[in-house]
Structure 1
């Protein structure tokens, strides 16, 4: 028997596979889903932030005029 066939046979004999591969990798998927959900909540917390300070933005616009960079909103 040649060397490659012998190595393949040895690897096949020593490799034991137990259980379901999908169930073995399930924790990785759950961790990834949790991380993405957490990041989604962080991104959602920044929703509508510019409108929280509308009074300040209007005061700045009145003081500096409408030219510039968009009344302090970073536009």
Structure 2
């Protein structure tokens, strides 16, 4: 018996009950949702970080003038 015939014969004898594919893949979706939620919380935690140091920023601006250091985009 050649290799292709053996493969076809083995595939024909395989059990047909594979279960619910959606339930088998559910853990992957839950893990992905958990990871994205965690990353979203990390990104959310950096909200208003510049406002926490407003006194330092104002002191630096008063010392160096309003033009700043001249670097970055749009300067």
Would you call these one fold, judging by a TM-score over 0.5? yes
Q: Partner of 1:25 in structure 2?
A: 25
Give me the TM-score of the superposition, normalised by structure 1: 0.76
Q: Partner of 2:58 in structure 1?
A: 58
Distance, in Å, in 1 between the alignment partners of 2:4 and 2:54 is 73
Question: Offset of 1:16 from its aligned partner?
Answer: 5.1
- Deviations along 1:5-52, one digit per CA (max 9) or x if unpaired, are 331221342355431011011011101101110110110010111112
Give me the TM-score of the superposition, normalised by structure 2: 0.76
With a CA cutoff of 8 Å and minimum separation of 6, indicate the structure with the bigger relative contact order: 1
Q: Partner of 1:10 in structure 2?
A: 10
**Structure-2 change in CA distance of 1:28 and 1:43 (3 Å):** same
Question: Offset of 1:3 from its aligned partner?
Answer: 3.2
- Deviations along 1:42-63, one digit per CA (max 9) or x if unpaired, are 1001011111211110100101
Which runs of 5 or more structure 1 residues have no equivalent in the other structure?
none
Question: Offset of 1:65 from its aligned partner?
Answer: 1.4
